[in-house]
Each structure stands twice: as structure tokens, then as C-alpha cells.
Amino acid sequence: MTKNIKLNMSRRIRRTPYTSMVEKHGVSDFTVVNHMLLPKGFKNSVETDYWHLSKDVQIWDVSCQRQVQISGPDASKLVQKLTPRSIKKMETGKCFYIPILNEKAGMINDPVLLKLDDDMFWISIADSDILLWAKGFALGLDLNVNIEEPDVYPLAIQGPKSEELMTKVFGEDVKKIKFFNFRIMDFMGTKQVVARSGYSKQDGFEIYFKVHDSHFDSIEMGEKLWKIIWDAGQEFNISPGCPNLIDRIEGGLMSYGNDFTNENNPFECNLEKYCSPDVDHHFIGKEALKSVQKNGIIQKIRGIIFDGEACSGIGQPLPVLSDKNKKIGQITSGIYSPRIKNNIGLSMILRDFWEVGENVTVQMLDGKKRKGIITTLPFPE
């Protein structure tokens, strides 16, 4: 096994205003999302981090959640073209989870949309280039919009003590923020977007940190924000963290590019409620989505619980087999859950085998086979 593989840094891989902070706090691994560093681990094990996240509070550098800012008179028109989810009744201060489809109804992103004003939106993207996609359609449709990537660097505060910590830093109004809503909060004389959201099944917030004045340095301000939150979090047993694989899988949170790709349509990803092809607005991929709905789908993402030695995480997909040894899917995200006391995973499963309670076999990379069972998403408590 190859060890001590290093990632060579360059301008193509961007640091964040918090990178020095996560290095100071002992980051052990990085990955790259949207050409930007995302911490993947610290000194603690994934399981230790999981238990801490479930009872205390953590601070995450998630600057890789880049924003596609769409503004101008035709902003809402363009945003509506990009997604099957209707934004007609979306109010300022709301966050919407939106599938973005290509012309074949394939998923090309599953971002969070923030409405800052009637003519201003942020699309907080997963790991694919929506900026150029949106620019292309705006140009082709001759829309009066401005599209750019603003200097916004999200910082997540996650865990059951997150409200207490955020209240200490930003004031009592934090408690008024409902799930998937945001408010504009003051920080050192600047106005910051603070949303009740995050890539975990725990309660939490995301600070969409932005430097509004060209006289301020983003790294300097970002480090100040981190330090203020860190110091305030000491009484709540704060820890540096990152999206936790156990927590993510248990919560049924999919990872674009890993658990689904642009080869998958939203019905396969359990996103039916956001994707009615009968809405009155036109969106990219509408006719293809109608065809999918008419003809039905052949697979759907499901949870799998499987036995055997505890998995520490999988680097390659694990085949999922029927009782007749037929491949019916593959686990794309998997790890041992200390709460469920078994291995868990996410997998696209063929239609004839996706019913909850169906017995399956998971084939490990060494060829050994383990018994498994199809379950719901999120995984049962």
C-alpha cells in the first residue's frame, strides 16, 4: 500500500481564509472541492469525531461551497430555468434545496439556493461548475443578469450546542432563525448572511462570510471570525471538524460525484418532491424529466446495513449482489456506524431489489461476502 502521498499545492487549488486555522488545529487530510481545499480529518478518529458532533459543537471550514451569484432584472427568470423546483413563492431570507438538471434530466448539481433579494440569488454549489453553465444559458437567452463568484467563504457551526455558541457570538436574534432560513447579522461592522443549515443531521448554522470592503483582507478577517468563535466555544467543548462520514450516511445525505452523477435523474435520488414535471414554468430538462416519469426508473438510492468486520470507510465501490449472485448495485459511501452497531452504506439499487427489508450480499474488495439488508434513508433511529 502506498503511504505518505502528498498533494502538491498550486494556484489551481485554492486555500481559504481559514486554512491556516485548520492547519494550526491539526488537520490531517484534505480533499479538493470546486478547486478549493476541504478538510477531511483531524487528530481524532471518524468515530470520536462522530460522537463529539452528536453532543457538542464543531467549527468547519466549508469555503469550498462556492456561491454562484445571479443578480439583475432577469435573475429570478434565469434561476427558475435552472431547476424544476418552483421558486415563485420563495421569500427573501429563505434557503431552497434545488436539483439542477441537464437537458437529459441528469443531475449536474444539488445546491442550496439563497434568495437575498428579488433580483439577487446565491447558488451554494456542490462539486461541479454551475457558474459557466449559468453564464452560457444567460447568454443564449439574452437575459439581463450579472453572474459571478463572489468572495464568500462559508464557515459551518454544527452540533446540538451550535445555537448556544452562535447566540454568544451574534446575539439572541440567532434563535429566531428557522431551519433553512437565514438572517443578515452584524460582525465587526460588516453584514453577514447566517443560515440555519449545514451538511450534517445535527442542528447547526452556516456563516456565509464575505468581506464587503476592499480595504479589509479576507484572510485576516476570516481568521478573526474563526478565533472569536473558537474562543467563545471553549465553554461548549468546541472542536475543529469537517463533514463526518458516519453522520452523513446515517442522515442519507448524498455526495455529488460519488453517490450520484449526471447519469442519474432526480427520481433515482429520491428528490421527487422537488421535481414535478407538471409545474407551469419551463426548465432545462423538462421534457426529458417527463419521459422519465412516464417510463419509470430502473434504480433508486437506498441505505444498506451489512455485517462483518467494521469498515473504516471505502475508497472503491463495493458490489451489491442478489441472492442469485447478480450485481444489483454498488455501495459508493460506506463505514461502520457505532450507533447502529453495524456497517452502513449508500447504494443505487435496481428496482426489483430496492424494497426495504430485501436481503442482499455485499462483496468486499478482498472478495469476501457479507450479509446485508435494504433500509430507509435516513437510516432508522
Kindly report, residue by residue over 105-162, the tens digit of the pLDDT: 999 999 999 999 999 999 999 999 999 999 999 999 999 999 999 999 999 999 999 9
Name the strands in the sheet holding 190-195, side by side, starting at the edge strand that comes first in the sequence: 182-187, 190-195, 204-210, 152-158, 57-61, 238-241
Q: Quote the pTM value.
A: 0.95
Q: Work out the pLDDT band at 211, boundaries 50, 70, 90.
A: confident
Long-range contacts of 21-27 (CB under 8 A, 24+ apart): 21/61, 21/222, 21/223, 21/226, 21/227, 21/230, 21/240, 22/61, 22/240, 25/240, 26/240, 27/240
Kindly report, residue by residue over 353-367, the tens digit of the pLDDT: 999 999 999 999 999
Residue ranges of domains in the chain, CATH in brackets: 19-65+151-247 (3.30.1360.120), 67-148 (3.30.70.1400), 248-375 (3.30.1360.120)
